[in-house]
Amino acid sequence: MKLVLASKNEKKLVEMNDILSHLGIEVCSEAEAGVDIEVEETGTTFEENSLLKARAVMEASGLPAIADDSGLCVDCLNGAPGVYSARYGGEGLDDAARYRMLLENMRGQMTRTARFVSVITCCFPNGDVLTARGECPGTIAYAPMGEGGFGYDPVFFVPELKKTFAQLTAEEKNAISHRGTALRLFREQLERYLSGGESYPVKSVGETGMIRGEDR
pLDDT digits (tens, 9 = 90+) for 171-186: 899 899 998 899 889 9
Question: How sure is the predictor about 91, in pLDDT bands with cuts at 50, 70 and 90?
Answer: confident
Partnered with residue 190 across adjacent β-strands are: none
Strand spans (E) along 124-214 = 129-140, 156-158, 163-164, 209-211
Catalytic-labelled residue, pool 69, 75, 94, 128: 69
Partnered with residue 100 across adjacent β-strands are: none
Residue 36 is a catalytic residue: no
**Distances from the Cα of 179 to the Cαs of 28, 49, 67, 91, 148, in angstroms?**
17, 15, 11, 23, 16
pLDDT digits (tens, 9 = 90+) for 92-133: 899 999 999 999 999 999 999 999 999 999 999 999 999 999
Task: Compute the distance between CA of residue 140 and CA of residue 190 in angstroms, rounded to an integer.
Answer: 33
| Helix (H) or strand (E) segment spanning residue 71 | strand 65-74
Tally of domains in the chain: 1
pTM of the model: 0.86
- Domain residues for 55? 2-215
| Helix (H) or strand (E) segment spanning residue 12 | helix 10-20
Are 189 and 130 contacting, i.e. CB atoms less than 8 angstroms apart?
A: yes
159: CATH: 3.90.950.10
